[in-house]
Structure 1
Amino acid sequence: MRMQDLSRASGLPVPTVKYYLREGLLAPGERTGPNQARYGAEHLRRLRLVRALLELGGLSLAQVRAVLRESRVLPPPPSSVPVSEADRRWALDRIEVLARARRWEVADDGPAVTALVEVLCTLRELCSDALLERVDDYADLADAITDFDRAGRHDAVSAILGDALLVALRRLARESADAPVPGDR
């Protein structure tokens, strides 16, 4: 297919496809003339992957580039919640207990710990005791999901899109559970 066909099939404008080519996110097509190239199904698949990582995974172009280079390093979750040192220490103590019970290796300054500190502190601030009491249950589910993930494809792309899949499925299940049952009043 030509550039215009690739653009139409991927849903991306031609300038965006050309930009991805220049940035090395997409391999060059097979040259058919001085200013012409032919693209195949692999090009379309790669464009869809880049788009999914950007839109569903929430990655920046630099992070997409790193993931596509087979980097096993996941981007850190965005951090935006200010946390006092006392609250941070409280959350780190909670995380240490969770980690010890599950034999998790954690680094106090790692991106996952930073995100979890922010969530725990926000829950505490909002007086969400019911959810705080269920952190162990969530950790058990996280272990089960990790075991499931490791039994299949284990790479950064799968992890990023798997997170988006899990969130979407959880929301769908929640909507379904909250929906009125036909015939019930």
Structure 2
Amino acid sequence: MRIGELSRRTGVPVPTIKYYVREGLLPAGRLTSPNQASYDDAHERRLRLIRALLDVGGLKVAAIADVLAAVDDPDRSVHKVLGVATDLIVPKYADEEPDAELDAAREEVRELIARRGWLVDDGYPAAEALAAALAALERVGHGAFSSVLDAYADAAEHVARADLAYVAGRAGLDDLVESVVIGTVLGDAVFASLRRLAQADCSARVYEGDEGAETGNGRTGNDETPG
């Protein structure tokens, strides 16, 4: 296909495609004449991956180059490639000066990883992000939140298995990485929304039920009809 067709298929403007080629993110097309190049389905898949990393993952061009280098490295396992991609899209916390709360939180995360038998290093970006969040909870007087950490870990393991089941059917590595990036970023939004829906339901069942027993109206949720 010509570059115009590639642009129509992907929605990426021709000048942007040329920019990606110049930056080495997208392989050049096969020259068919001095001023014409031909592109194929592999270019389309790679271009969709670039856009997913940019638009959904929020990565900069240099970070996208790192992911693509991992994808194209024949000696790097799928696990390592996915690790590079997910490391780059995990929210980064500003470097903090170590203090008692952060040191304690990091130790708690190390213990959690060991207790769960998770095959990750405690220096993994998500582990540091978790430690920063736990330290912040401690500083605002909610250090007891750690008591539900294993319950959260149970839910996280279940969701992680669902994530991998979703991407398992992807044929190519480009498609697999794109699915992981989109699934991680948008999946976080989906999971956060489901969590709030479940919280609303639990709150209605626990607290509205108590109020209904006290007042005798038996209402739940937003139901305004008298009981």
TM over 0.5: yes
* Pair 1:120-2:134 in alignment: yes
Tell me how far 1:18 sits from its aligned partner: 0.8
1:98-142 deviations in Å (ceiling 9; x for gaps): 123212355444322221111111222334457543221111222
Counterpart amino acid of 1:125? Answer: R
* Pair 1:99-2:93 in alignment: no
Counterpart amino acid of 2:28? Answer: P
For 2:43 and 2:161, locate their aligned partners in 1 and report how far apart those are by CA, in whole Å.
Answer: 32
User: Is 2:109–2:122's contact at 8 Å kept on the other side of the alignment?
Assistant: no
- Tell me, what secondary structure is at the counterpart of 2:37? strand
* Superposition TM-score, scaled by structure 2 size: 0.65
- Tell me, what secondary structure is at the counterpart of 1:50? helix
Tell me how far 1:24 sits from its aligned partner: 2.5
User: Is 2:101–2:139's contact at 8 Å kept on the other side of the alignment?
Assistant: no
Match of 1:67 in 2: 67
Match of 2:13 in 1: 13
For 2:100 and 2:47, locate their aligned partners in 1 and report how far apart those are by CA, in whole Å.
Answer: 46
Counterpart amino acid of 1:8? Answer: R
* Pair 1:167-2:181 in alignment: no
1:42-61 pair list within 5 angstroms: 42-61=42-61
* Pair 1:88-2:127 in alignment: no
Measured at CA, do residues 132 and 182 of structure 1 come closer, stay the same or move farther in structure 2, by a change above 3 Å? closer
Counterpart amino acid of 1:167? Answer: D
* Pair 1:143-2:143 in alignment: no
The root-mean-square deviation of aligned C-alpha atoms, in Å, is: 3.2
Tell me: higher relative CO, structure 1 or 2? Use CA pairs within 8 A at least 6 residues apart. 1
Percentage of matched positions with identical amino acids: 38
Counterpart amino acid of 2:185? Answer: A
More helix by share: 2
Match of 1:2 in 2: 2
Measured at CA, do residues 145 and 20 of structure 1 come closer, stay the same or move farther in structure 2, by a change above 3 Å? same
* Pair 1:184-2:223 in alignment: yes
My pick for the range that moved more, 131-140 or 112-121, is 131-140
Counterpart amino acid of 1:168? Answer: A
Q: Which runs of 5+ in 2 are unaligned?
A: 202-219
- Tell me, what secondary structure is at the counterpart of 1:167? helix
Measured at CA, do residues 41 and 106 of structure 1 come closer, stay the same or move farther in structure 2, by a change above 3 Å? closer
Tell me how far 1:91 sits from its aligned partner: 0.1
Measured at CA, do residues 130 and 107 of structure 1 come closer, stay the same or move farther in structure 2, by a change above 3 Å? same
Tell me how far 1:94 sits from its aligned partner: 1.6
Tell me how far 1:170 sits from its aligned partner: 1.4
Measured at CA, do residues 182 and 131 of structure 1 come closer, stay the same or move farther in structure 2, by a change above 3 Å? closer
For 1:183 and 1:122, locate their aligned partners in 2 and report how far apart those are by CA, in whole Å.
Answer: 33
User: Is 1:83–1:118's contact at 8 Å kept on the other side of the alignment?
Assistant: no
* Superposition TM-score, scaled by structure 1 size: 0.78
1:49-88 deviations in Å (ceiling 9; x for gaps): 1110122122222222222232524235322263542112
